[in-house]
Structure 1
Amino acid sequence: MTKTVDPPRSTTAGLDRALVSLGGLLHDWLPRQRWFAGKDRPVTELSVLSVTELFPSCLHLLVHADHSPGGGAAPSGDCYQLLLGVREHRAPTLERACLGRAVKGPLAGLAVYDALQDPHAAELLLERLRIPGTAGPLRFETAPRARIPGGLTPRLLDADQSNSSLVYGDSYILKVFRRIQPGVNPDLEVPGALAAQGCPRVPAPVAWFRTTEPSPATLGVLQPFLPNAADGWTLAQRALAAEDDFTTEAHELGRATAEVHLALAAALPSAVHDEHRRTAEAMSARLDAAAHAVPALRPFVPGLRGAFDALATCDTGPLAQRIHGDLHLGQVLRADHEWFVIDFEGEPSRPLAERRGTQSPVRDVAGMLRSFDYAARQRRPWRPEWARRCREAYCAGYAARAGWDPRETHALLRAHETDRAVYEVVYEARHRPAWLPVPMAAIERLARWRG
């Protein structure tokens, strides 16, 4: 028999009561999650911003993890979305999902677990999405004329992601955002705008949910799932393993990227002249921060800064517009001989306002070029010619559809590729130290660039 849960309410007292039950469990569990962004900084304080009973024995929480050192320092940290199941007895099938047992507060004596790993809870979450409605500050909405069938079997994707994704019956995929920032998430905004534009390269949203408290924010998006698709990274690795050429696929991917850029310029008409000096200043600031965090980067700073100095004086290049923002081989799918682009969230570590702003489309091109280099370095011996041919084919495909060639924008391409490599160095140093030599090789090349 399941014990009745008296959920804490979203009042100040209710939030405090939730923290009494969950604070210790979350303090241990959160930093171990793949999507937790503050692994290199201790959590100095946890606060519950919102708690809602989503359905019986399942709580929806927004939790702020503070990393400020104290002593009057300004708060620093991130807001995370959690769906926590509570039950009297620990189920053996949910052992990996279990945070532990609450010892005090309103949930005392109950086992607490990550509800997204519970098939029953995942089924109930889809039911919430199928029919528009509310649950406290949560709002569940569907696209016009969307008809989502019930009874679809859920499975949680076990992937290296900064969010959590559930696949329902090979028909739909639900991305649950973990790191929450106020505002409309681009992964809802951009595919919706492209669908209205009739762009076939991006699966259109069919349902989503959001919150109105403590600030309006997007929480998750449901889209069609492509069951027979393979992502670009997997396809590139297969080609490398078989010593096959990948230039045809790279050329087609370049055309697909250009088509998405053209559709974005029409769907979200905000194209402006890029302020290269301001962009270069932001890149230079990121380089300084990265060199402070990763000492191995410091000897290359003068050469890398030259790329940003050249960008500051550049007066050519395409107009700035809405772009993908984090484009690489893992963000594209190939199904039925066509490329599709997914995951328009951008880099989650960057402010939402920046990710929703206009940027040069060269940034997306540079991200994909870096991804070809990453793919080629996953096998020994390293095959730099494979990466070079893919890079050339991709740019040629892009130029054939876009009407301009990224390779002719030397200062822009070098600056954006350098900025991307600097980001990769910090990411790998924090999350995958064994991979750090991959971006560091690019750093050495880009610091010596004289083209």
Structure 2
Amino acid sequence: MSEAASAQVTLANSTALLPSLGPLLHSWLPQQRWFAGKGHPITAFSLVSATELLPVAADGGPGLLHLLVRAHQPTMPAQPPADCYQLLLGVRAALPPLLAPALIGRPDHGPLAGLTVYEGLHDPRLAALLLERLRTPGGLGALSFARAAAVPAGLAPRVLDTEQSNSSLVYGDAYILKVFRRVFPGTNPDLELPLALAREGCGRVPAPVAWFEAAGPERLTLGVLQPFLRDAEDGWQLALRALAAGDDFTAEAYALGRTTAEVHTALAAALPAPALRRAQTGRLAAAMVHRLESAAHAVPELVPYVPGLRAAFDALAAGGAGTGRPAQRVHGDLHLGQTLRGTDGFWSLIDFEGEPSRSLAERRTPQPPVRDIAGMLRSFDYAARSHRPWNPAWAARCRTAYCDGYAASAGVDPRGEPELLRAHETDKAVYEVVYEARHRPDWLPVPMAAIRRLAGADAEPAEPAAADTETD
């Protein structure tokens, strides 16, 4: 066995590896935007897998260590087992100045003692190595790499700074690699659904080119490489620009409605689309009630509106007899920031991962298509309230145009079942309240304004300060 191969086996299987990294991860991990357990102490780490993608050179040159690590937080109300995170750690004798911001720390004992550990994705040499692994299907340690099409070599990498719940690398302005940070057993919808749409011939979603996973009883999706739409602009920024200029956005909203309907139609054809019967509709409404009660416990501002909000969910349950509502796989977290418009006016949908706070099983469960529609309707409201003075008429026109576009393409008007649409919009607004209370308290008045409307209250809260981002 070669010296490099021997080092790889020794390091990847060293029982001292994680104990030596633990003190560094205790301070570094909670500071990351994608860490889900903020505010709850980490009591321990456990190692799921360790794979050396590039062994550390004898002269201290860069190595790349892939880890799957569980962060144990007993005080966090999360589903067991503990959250699992994907780490790509660079290892060098010393960091060059350009990589100083990526520093994690220097272990004082264990197999990496005396070396510098840092965020490997920020190192162009290591990021290029990751692309090379994706270009060559096969396995390495606990990891497996697959591809659906050939990928050119030698594409220069750069990290996108705008990613929130994951990390993204752009290669040569031709491809984008999303690296999932918090990973779950099972295929991630952001791989599963674009693959299904590609098989169906739907061009509204960039098709996966390559991906990598971790082996086990259930595979864990770790990253997906897709074409990078470099000349496209996201719908959120386009909407804000239209508001600032006083421009109408209804043509864009109408086109987005048609795009959403095309994607829904393709998903329904590609994957099972069961009907929701009365009992299932009742369970759907009960889950919404449970989320409302949990949210009111976490955010006291919700408490006065609980009876009015719950009425929307009760109406959904009461109207569930019917012949069965259609359910299917959906985007799961659709808003303006998940859309891209090309220079030719062609709209695409991206980021099919779903709401990060929901379990993977829930995100992969067929839902009424109106769930996505409700998310986009809430997004128009967010955009309108980000502008001063608040422009409710702009949001109302966009909401109407979006539903018109959807109905024109799908042949089904989402406004045809008002209790279903109201329940999903209410559920989305409750989710937004919890998100803003935890992450952006200054923005809490935005979803609270919708809460008042949906609960039947008349008074409006004070307008929030303007900002330029949406919820995840």
Paired residue for 1:94? 99
Q: How far does the alpha carbon of each residue in 1:58-115 deviate from its partner, in whole angstroms, 9 at most, with x for none?
A: 1000111111149xx9955311101000111122111111111111111111111010
Q: CA deviation at 1:215?
A: 4.4
Paired residue for 1:265? 268
Aligned residues: 441
Q: Residues 252 and 397 of structure 1 are in contact (CA less than 8 Å); yes or no, is this contact kept in structure 2?
A: yes
- Check 1:74–1:115 CA distance in 2 against 1; reply closer, same or farther (3 A cut): closer
Q: Residues 271 and 322 of structure 1 are in contact (CA less than 8 Å); yes or no, is this contact kept in structure 2?
A: no
Taking the aligned partners of 1:269 and 1:395, their CA distance within structure 2 comes to 24
Paired residue for 2:304? 299
Taking the aligned partners of 1:10 and 1:352, their CA distance within structure 2 comes to 31
Paired residue for 1:188? 191
Paired residue for 1:409? 417
Paired residue for 2:463? none
Q: Residues 90 and 120 of structure 2 are in contact (CA less than 8 Å); yes or no, is this contact kept in structure 1?
A: yes
Q: Residues 40 and 75 of structure 2 are in contact (CA less than 8 Å); yes or no, is this contact kept in structure 1?
A: no
Taking the aligned partners of 1:333 and 1:35, their CA distance within structure 2 comes to 23
Q: CA deviation at 1:344?
A: 0.7
Paired residue for 2:182? 179
Q: After TM superposition, list the pairs within 5 Å mapping 1:373-388 onto structure 2.
A: 373-388=381-396
- Check 1:430–1:206 CA distance in 2 against 1; reply closer, same or farther (3 A cut): same
Corresponding position: 1:391 with 2:404: no
Which letter maps to 1:50? S
Query: SS state of the match for residue 205, structure 2?
Result: coil
Paired residue for 2:332? 325
Paired residue for 2:426? 418
Q: How far does the alpha carbon of each residue in 1:8-44 deviate from its partner, in whole angstroms, 9 at most, with x for none?
A: 7588x63x41212210111111111111111132222
Segment of structure 1 superposing worse, 209-218 or 303-312: 209-218
Query: SS state of the match for residue 275, structure 2?
Result: coil
Paired residue for 2:369? 361
Taking the aligned partners of 1:210 and 1:182, their CA distance within structure 2 comes to 10
Taking the aligned partners of 2:46 and 2:361, their CA distance within structure 1 comes to 24
Which letter maps to 1:430? R
Which letter maps to 2:35? F
Paired residue for 2:466? none
Corresponding position: 1:158 with 2:161: yes
Query: SS state of the match for residue 167, structure 1?
Result: strand
Taking the aligned partners of 1:161 and 1:74, their CA distance within structure 2 comes to 22
Corresponding position: 1:38 with 2:37: yes
TM-score for both structures, normalised by structure 2: 0.90
Corresponding position: 1:237 with 2:240: yes
Runs (4+) of structure 1 exceeding 6 A deviation are: none
Taking the aligned partners of 2:357 and 2:47, their CA distance within structure 1 comes to 21
Query: SS state of the match for residue 107, structure 1?
Result: coil
Corresponding position: 1:49 with 2:48: yes
Which letter maps to 1:353? A
Q: How far does the alpha carbon of each residue in 1:223-256 deviate from its partner, in whole angstroms, 9 at most, with x for none?
A: 0111100011011011011110000000010000
Taking the aligned partners of 1:67 and 1:8, their CA distance within structure 2 comes to 30
Paired residue for 2:465? none
- Check 1:402–1:55 CA distance in 2 against 1; reply closer, same or farther (3 A cut): same
Taking the aligned partners of 2:382 and 2:91, their CA distance within structure 1 comes to 42
Query: SS state of the match for residue 41, structure 2?
Result: coil
Paired residue for 1:310? 315
Which letter maps to 1:403? G
Q: Residues 290 and 422 of structure 1 are in contact (CA less than 8 Å); yes or no, is this contact kept in structure 2?
A: yes
- Check 1:299–1:40 CA distance in 2 against 1; reply closer, same or farther (3 A cut): farther
Q: How far does the alpha carbon of each residue in 1:120-144 deviate from its partner, in whole angstroms, 9 at most, with x for none?
A: 111010000011121101000011x
Q: Residues 288 and 427 of structure 2 are in contact (CA less than 8 Å); yes or no, is this contact kept in structure 1?
A: yes
Paired residue for 2:83? 78
Segment of structure 1 superposing worse, 105-114 or 348-357: 348-357
Query: SS state of the match for residue 265, structure 1?
Result: helix
Q: How far does the alpha carbon of each residue in 1:292-316 deviate from its partner, in whole angstroms, 9 at most, with x for none?
A: 1111111111111111111111235
Q: Residues 275 and 325 of structure 2 are in contact (CA less than 8 Å); yes or no, is this contact kept in structure 1?
A: no
Paired residue for 1:61? 67
**What is the RMSD computed on CA atoms of the aligned residues?**
1.9
TM-score for both structures, normalised by structure 1: 0.94
Which letter maps to 2:161? D
Q: CA deviation at 1:318?
A: 4.3
Q: Residues 11 and 111 of structure 2 are in contact (CA less than 8 Å); yes or no, is this contact kept in structure 1?
A: no
Q: How far does the alpha carbon of each residue in 1:303-355 deviate from its partner, in whole angstroms, 9 at most, with x for none?
A: 11111111111235740111111100011100121110111111122111111
- Check 1:6–1:214 CA distance in 2 against 1; reply closer, same or farther (3 A cut): farther
Which letter maps to 1:186? P
Q: Residues 49 and 61 of structure 1 are in contact (CA less than 8 Å); yes or no, is this contact kept in structure 2?
A: yes
Q: After TM superposition, list the pairs within 5 Å mapping 1:215-226 onto structure 2.
A: 215-226=218-229
Query: SS state of the match for residue 359, structure 1?
Result: coil
Paired residue for 2:215? 212
Paired residue for 2:462? none
Taking the aligned partners of 2:219 and 2:276, their CA distance within structure 1 comes to 31
- Check 1:420–1:82 CA distance in 2 against 1; reply closer, same or farther (3 A cut): same
Q: Residues 265 and 321 of structure 1 are in contact (CA less than 8 Å); yes or no, is this contact kept in structure 2?
A: yes
Corresponding position: 1:203 with 2:206: yes
Q: CA deviation at 1:221?
A: 0.4
Q: How far does the alpha carbon of each residue in 1:348-386 deviate from its partner, in whole angstroms, 9 at most, with x for none?
A: 221111111100000000000000011111111111111
Q: Residues 64 and 88 of structure 2 are in contact (CA less than 8 Å); yes or no, is this contact kept in structure 1?
A: yes
Corresponding position: 1:290 with 2:289: no
Q: After TM superposition, list the pairs within 5 Å mapping 1:16-27 onto structure 2.
A: 16-27=15-26
Q: Residues 59 and 84 of structure 1 are in contact (CA less than 8 Å); yes or no, is this contact kept in structure 2?
A: yes
Paired residue for 1:371? 379
